[in-house]
Amino acid sequence: MKLSSALLFIFLIFVQYSFSQNRIVKELDSNWKFQKGDFQNANAINFDDSKWETVTVPHDWAIKGPFNKEIDKQTVAIVQNGEEVASEKTGRTGSLPHIGTAWYRNKFTVPTYKKGKKVILLFEGAMSEPQIYVNGKKVGEWAYGYSYFYFDVSDFVTEGENTLAVQLTNKAFASRWYPGAGLYRKVSVIVKNKESVNQWGTFITTPFISDTEAKVNIKTKTSGENTHLVTTIFDAEGNQLETNKTTEQFGHEFEQNIKVENPKLWSPESPYLYTAKTELYVGNELKDEVSTRFGIREIKYEAATGFSLNGKVTKFKGVCLHHDLGPLGAAVNKAALRRQLTILKDMGCNAVRSSHNMPSIEQLELCDEMGFLFLAESFDEWKKPKVENGYHRFFDEYAEKDIVNLVQATRNHPSIVMWSSGNEVPDQWGAEGVKRAKWLQDIFHREDPTRPVTVGMDQVKAVMESGFGALLDVPGLNYRVHLYEEAFEKFPQGFILGSETASTVSSRGIYKFPVVQEKMKQYDDFQSSSYDLEACSWSNVPDEDFVLQDDKPWVIGEFVWTGFDYLGEPTPYDEMWPSRSSYFGISDLAGLPKDRFYLYRSRWNTKDETLHILPHWNWEGREGEVTPVFVYTNYNSAELFVNGKSMGVQKKNNATPQNRYRLMWMDVKYEPGTLKVIAFDENGNPAAEKELKTAEKPYKIVLNPDKKTLKADGKDLSYVEVSVVDKFGNFCPKATNQLKFKVTGNGSFKVACNGDATSLELFHLPTMKLFSGKLVVTVESTTKVGEIQLEVTGKGLKKGKLNLTSVD
């Protein structure tokens, strides 16, 4: 099936199961036994795991380090980066000890178990190549570490205690970034009746929407005979709206159409969610109950207008995100994800691309709730390899199964507006690649006829000639801004998506002179300049993409590489050590915004004022030397002052892409004191001002949490920004003091991170150096309510103290 250019309507979120006795979902999160190593007969019932480490799941066995260049050292030419000659690379997968085999074991009881019940084991991500055993017997295996999968273990479990064992194996050279290791997403046991709704068996769409009514179509696949279905729709406040009963099935699938009057539409600005409660009966006996959140919204992709949401043309102001959560590693945590999305929302971001892997369910839930459009990606590799032990080993056997699971598990999320079947796959070359692209796209269409499919393409010349780009629903271009016009002329879709853009590199708070635009620039300290003018050989600075987004209506948006720094891929320093994480992020690995954050915010956040000055103003030894000053603002003009002396008024203009989006005073000479900017409105009146002052020596530690109240669930997190100021309260931007952290009360120290890509300090130890005057300490709740105290100390500094509260 070929989707037309004009598409789509929808919907929806994922199944949140009820706690009725007809269906029980039990998350297996505590009391796991873990041991790294390949242990013979480790799946045996009587194997002694008493000396294994006790962990909670989600869990990443590698994130505690230590960092070691030998772990991922390889001699390779990175084809995606345009390299032709192999060289020694380090840090490509984060230099963390993720390679090897490990075992997890858990003893569990099956709730309300009795013979004839269905018991499902659900895994939302296991890195990688999991083999699953229950009570000493192998129940199945999977290959892809990012895939969701489940097994029916009804014939393997017993009443009373059961033993679950999981073997995981991470091979060397299996990833291009830090993949994490272990049971890094949730594991659950689901108990239900024989007559029940199938796993991921609900599919909700909204094929008709008007101002006064919406048609909600619900397809439900079930097991069992002589059943009927009752579905009730509730609004976001829990009010019952409409109920529908049906006895008609087609191949064990019910189909219902339910009217919702005066529908409230889902959008990033108003992410309204409904709930459909589905009840399966045999006679008058309730056998199963499933609740599914969904949104009512309409999406279209058309040649004339590009992408529209609910009838309004909308451009993707998106970022790409790897799955790691910085110092937490790959282990999913909803509080950490919420913080990421809150930062992105403030920047004006409206979209996320899960690159280059299947997203966590938690991330999708939050995008539904907080209002983010989502591009859900599947693979980084098809049949042709990028890395020695990549997905190409599994493609023939698993690609269809992995796509089916991705779509069925997540298709009810209203945030998802597009699928991606791959990223920069070497299969872009040749006729076989075209056939694979169509085969994969057809699977997506079969499983979900309502959303289009894209591929992130970097071999633009090749896909223009082969027909690869023409067959896709949405042609996605990774970089190659100089080929946009030609691609638009040759591709038939009538629009182009910037599926991956910019790859600008910078280090928070680090500035290099002279200030010039460069590619693959390297410095002795292995940092990149935060003047935001440095990119990679294949990429560009943000302003070049801004021009295309603003001037070409057929460019439907962009997904910037990347929203946050991530572990691994330390370009342009992947041949240097120490360097173990990326420089691409708009925010650093700790989640602290870089200067570039405010450049995007000045363009994307149309509601709030942005006025940001760079660089900092502590340049001892540069007195009298040219030190350019940039201002990122949503105002069109501003005047700069150094110690009260005007440096003149700058206005945005079209002389260069940088002049169009930045205010730049290139000839300012440094003198200590006060740097001040006054921005003007459209009428030339002063509208906002900001100033920086040269700081004296560090004096006091300042703590600023993202929240002061935590939920007492043992999982909630408070991210505390730690900075140092002088005795007058001025921020000290070059401070590198070694700090220590102590948490008491009903919380614990989790991790710390300073955002320095070259730091080899371990995240989980309660001490770390400041980087560019800042770092972030993460405090975790316990399961007890009460007060939590954080104390941060450093030699010669006035300590910082913070009180937090943990509540039910």
Residue 308 lies in a domain: no
Domain assignment present for 170 = yes
Q: Is residue 30 part of a domain?
A: yes
Q: Which of 141, 159, 192 is the last residue of a domain?
A: 192
Let me know if residue 83 belongs to a domain. no
Q: Are residues 207 and 171 in the same domain?
A: no
Report which residue type is found at 1: M
Domain co-membership, 519 together with 584:
yes
Shared domain check, 559 and 594: yes
CB atoms within 10 A of CB 38: 11
The reply to whether 564 and 683 lie within a common domain is: no
Q: With 80 as the cut, is the pLDDT of residue 38 above it?
A: no
Give domain status of residue 70, yes or no: no
Domain boundary among 693, 717, 752: 693
Among the three residues 693, 727, 759, which one is the final residue of a domain in this structure?
A: 693
Answer whether 261's CB lies under 8 Å from 274's CB: no
pLDDT at 8 over 60: no
With cut-offs at 50, 70 and 90, classify the pLDDT of residue 79: confident
Q: How many residues does this entry show for the chain?
A: 808
Instruction: Report the domain count for the chain.
Output: 5
How many Å apart are CA 647 and CA 657, to the nearest integer? 22
82 has a pLDDT exceeding 80: no
Are 723 and 743 contained in the same domain?
A: yes
**Mean pLDDT value across residues 781-803:** 98
Q: Residue 20 — pLDDT band, cuts 50, 70, 90?
A: low
Q: Given this model, what pLDDT does residue 654 score?
A: 96
CATH number for the domain that contains residue 356: 3.20.20.80
Domain residues for the domain of 131 are 23-62+98-192
From residue 798, give the alpha-carbon distance in Å to each of 142, 725, 734, 745: 53, 10, 17, 22
Query: Over the stretch 218-268, which tens digit does the pLDDT of each residue have?
Result: 999 999 999 999 999 999 999 999 999 999 999 899 999 999 999 999 999
Angle between helices 595-604 and 334-347 (to 10 degrees): 60
Is 5:22 a contact under the CB 8 Å cutoff? Answer: no
Q: Are 14 and 365 in contact (CB under 8 A)?
A: yes
Please give the structure tokens belonging to residue 393: 């080993």
Read off the CATH number of the domain in which 723 is found: 2.60.40.10
- Whether 108 is in a domain gets the answer yes
Q: Cβ(125)–Cβ(381) under 8 Å? A: no
Question: Can you say whether the dihedral through the CA atoms of 310, 410, 356, 65 is positive or negative?
Answer: positive
Mean local confidence (pLDDT), 27-48: 78
Q: How many CB atoms lie within 10 A of CB 523?
A: 14
pLDDT digits (tens, 9 = 90+) for 648-659: 999 999 999 999
Q: Check whether residue 349 and residue 441 sit in a common domain.
A: yes
Are 53 and 170 in the same domain? yes
Q: Is residue 305 part of a domain?
A: no
Does the structure show a pLDDT above 70 at 406? yes
Residues 332 and 389 grouped into a single domain: yes
Examine the domain organization and report whether 341 and 401 are in the same domain.
yes
pLDDT of residue 364: 98
- Domain shared by 578 and 505, yes or no: yes
498 and 645 within one domain: no
Instruction: Kindly tell me if the per-residue pLDDT of 1 is higher than 90.
Output: no
Share of the chain above pLDDT 70, in %: 96
Do 433 and 582 lie in one domain? The reply is yes
Find the CATH number of the domain harbouring 55: 2.60.120.260
Q: Is 802 domain-assigned?
A: yes
Supply the mean pLDDT for the chain. 95
Q: Do 3 and 449 contact (CB within 8 A), yes or no? A: yes
β-strand pairing of 663-665 with 700-705: unpaired
Mind telling me the catalytic residues? 424, 500
